[in-house]
Amino acid sequence: MIVLLTVVAGAAGAVARYQVDDAVRRRWPDVFPGPTFLINLTGALLIGFVAGLVMFAGASPDWSSVVGTGFCGGYTTFSTAVVEAIRLESRRGVIYSVGTLLGAVGACALGLWLGWLV
């Protein structure tokens, strides 16, 4: 059952990613890597939060599989972030890459802390 839920959550994550990307691009069409940056940071925040719930609040590890692997696996996108970084000018691409890395680690840490608070 967990495998099926993980697959369904992955599909839902992919749909959510498309919806968020589309909404951000419609609102701010000139911000090229903005949607992917937002998606990856919010996905990292959610992964951290679920990990915090599992580690500190006694939530079932199945949540990590379904939400972390399934939903966030379909929602976040490392490959698109890399392609976007390469398409940017070299300096901007490096700044975008480093910002994505540091932002995702920070968002995950924040999510872990929030999961600990619950």
Chain centroid to CA 38: 8
Q: What mean pLDDT is reported for the chain? A: 94
**Residue in the block written with tokens 């802390």:** 113
30: DSSP letter: T
Q: Where are the domains of the chain?
A: 2-117
48 is in an annotated binding site: no
Confidence class of residue 32 from pLDDT cuts 50, 70 and 90?
Answer: confident
End-to-end CA distance of the chain: 27
DSSP states of 89-102 as a string? Answer: -HHHHHHHHHHHHH
Residue 59 gets which letter from DSSP?
Answer: -
Residue range 17-27: mean pLDDT, rounded = 94
What mean pLDDT do residues 62-73 have? 96
CB 76 within 8 A of CB 40: yes
Which amino acid, one-letter code, is at 86? I
Specify the pLDDT at position 89.
81
Q: Give CA–CA dist 110/117, Å, rounded.
A: 11
Q: Is 76 annotated as a binding residue?
A: yes
